[in-house]
Amino acid sequence: MGVQIIIAGESQCEAFAKTYLIADYLSQNLPHFVCKKIEKSILEWEKWLHKINIKYKWHHSGSPLVWKEMLIEGSKPYYIGGASEFLDYCYSYYKFEAFLSTEKFRDLVDSLNQFKKKHTLEKHFVKNMQLSIKDNDKHLDSNYIVCISGASHPLTMYLISGLLDMSVNQKTISKIYIYDTKCSSKFLDFVENECSYVSTNYPGKVVKHVTKIGMALTNCDLLIVMDCVPFRMDLSIGEWLYQNSETMKDLAPMINASASRNMYILLPNLGPACYNATLLTKLITNINKKNIVVVTSDLGLEIAPIAAEIVGIPLKNMFCPPVWGFVGINHLVDIKNTVHKYNVFEPFNRYINVQSSSLCIGVLTPELRTLEYLMHFNENLWTKLLDTKRKVKNEELSLNKATSVLNFVKLWLSGPNSNNILSLGIICDGSFGLFFNGVFSQPARCIDGYWQPAADFMTPKDPQMNVVYLAQLAEKIMCFKKMELPVIVPYNLCICLRKKKKDNENTRKKKTTFFKELNNNT
pLDDT tens digits for range 304-322:
888 888 888 888 888 889 9
Reported as a single tens digit per residue, the pLDDT across 28-75 is 877 778 888 898 888 888 889 989 998 888 888 888 899 988 877 777
Amino acid 240 reads W
Which position has the higher pLDDT, 425 or 353?
425
- Are the CB atoms for 4 and 66 separated by under 8 Å? no
**What DSSP state is assigned to residue 318?**
B
Of 459, 452, 451, which is closest to residue 408 (Cα–Cα)? 451
- 3-state SS assignment for residue 474: helix
The residues pairing with 179 across neighbouring beta strands, listed in sequence order, are 149
Q: For residue 509, with 0-12 CB atoms within 10 Å meaning exposed, 13-18 middle and 19 or more buried, which class applies?
A: exposed
pLDDT number for residue 267: 95
Looking at residue 520, its pLDDT comes to 58
Q: pLDDT digit string (tens) for 221-240?
A: 999 999 999 988 888 888 99
Does residue 503 have a pLDDT over 60? yes
Boundaries of every domain in the chain: 3-133, 141-295, 298-477, 492-522
Q: How far apart are CA 391 and CA 397, in angstroms?
A: 11
What is the per-residue pLDDT for 394? 59
CA–CA separation, 174 vs 234, rounded Å? 42
CA distance 364 to 351: 14
% of the chain with per-residue pLDDT over 90: 25
pLDDT in the model for residue 425: 95
- For residue 362, is pLDDT > 60? yes
d(CA 432, CA 185): 45
**Of 18, 29, 23, 30, nearest in space to 6 by CA:** 23
Average pLDDT of the segment spanning 87-94: 77
* Mean local confidence (pLDDT), 117-144: 63
pLDDT band at 495 (very low <50, low <70, confident <90, very high): low
From the list 405, 143, 161, the residue with the least C-alpha distance to 266 is 405
Using DSSP bridges, classify how beta strands 362-370 and 339-347 pair: parallel, antiparallel or unpaired.
antiparallel
Residue type, 148: I
Q: Is the pLDDT of residue 422 over 80?
A: yes
Contact 238, 272 (CB under 8 A): no
What is the pLDDT averaged over residues 246-263? 91
Amino acid residing at 221:
D
CA geometry: angle at 112 spanning 4 and 106, to 5°?
A: 95
* Range of lowest pLDDT (1-10, 53-62, 137-146, 513-522): 513-522
Considering only residues 274 and 214, tell me which one the structure prediction assigns the higher pLDDT. 274
Residue 261 has pLDDT above 80, yes or no: yes
Output the pLDDT for position 119. Answer: 61
For the chain, helix (H) and strand (E) counts, in that order, are: 16, 18
pLDDT of residue 152: 87
Is the confidence at residue 137, as pLDDT, over 50? no
The beta-strand segments (E) located in 277-384 are: 292-295, 323-326, 330-333, 339-347, 362-370
pLDDT in tens, 396-416: 667 889 999 999 998 888 877
Q: Find out whether 467 and 434 touch, Cβ atoms under 8 Å.
A: yes
165-174, 349-358, 443-452: least confidently modelled range: 349-358
Strands 439-447 and 450-453: antiparallel
Better-predicted residue by pLDDT, 3 or 517: 3
Is residue 104 predicted with pLDDT exceeding 70? Answer: no
Give dist(CA 323, CA 439) in Å, integer: 13
Report the candidate in 172, 152, 440 with the shortest Cα–Cα distance to residue 296. 440
Angle at which helices 14-29 and 83-94 cross, to 10°: 20
Q: Provide CATH code, domain 298-477.
A: 3.90.110.10
More confident residue, 194 or 498: 194
User: First-to-last CA distance in the chain?
Assistant: 157
pLDDT-based confidence at 383, cuts 50/70/90?
Answer: confident
Task: Give the separation between CA 280 and CA 291, rounded to whole angstroms.
Answer: 11
Say how far apart CA 503 and CA 513 lie, in whole Å: 15
Give 106's contacts (C-beta < 8 A, 6+ positions apart).
none
**Residues 446-468 pLDDT 10s:** 888 889 999 999 888 877 788 99
Does an H or E element contain 447, and which?
strand 439-447
The amino acid at 288? N
At residue 138, the pLDDT reads 47
If you average pLDDT over every residue of the chain, what do you get?
Answer: 81
Q: CA 442, 443, 447 angle in degrees (round to 5)?
A: 120
Residue 426 pLDDT > 80: yes
| pLDDT score of 438 more than 90 | yes
| 426 vs 379: which has the higher pLDDT | 426
Sign of CA dihedral 111, 114, 120, 126: negative
Count of alpha carbons within 13 angstroms of residue 276, beta-carbon side: 30
CA distance 35 to 56: 20
Query: Helix/strand/coil (H, E, C) string of 190-232?
Result: HHHHHHCCCCCCCCCCCEEECCCHHHHHCCCCEEEECCCCCCC
139 pLDDT tier (thresholds 50, 70, 90): very low
For the 3-133 domain, the top CATH level (class) is alpha beta
CATH number of 141-295: 3.40.50.720
Q: Flag whether pLDDT at 513 surpasses 60.
A: yes
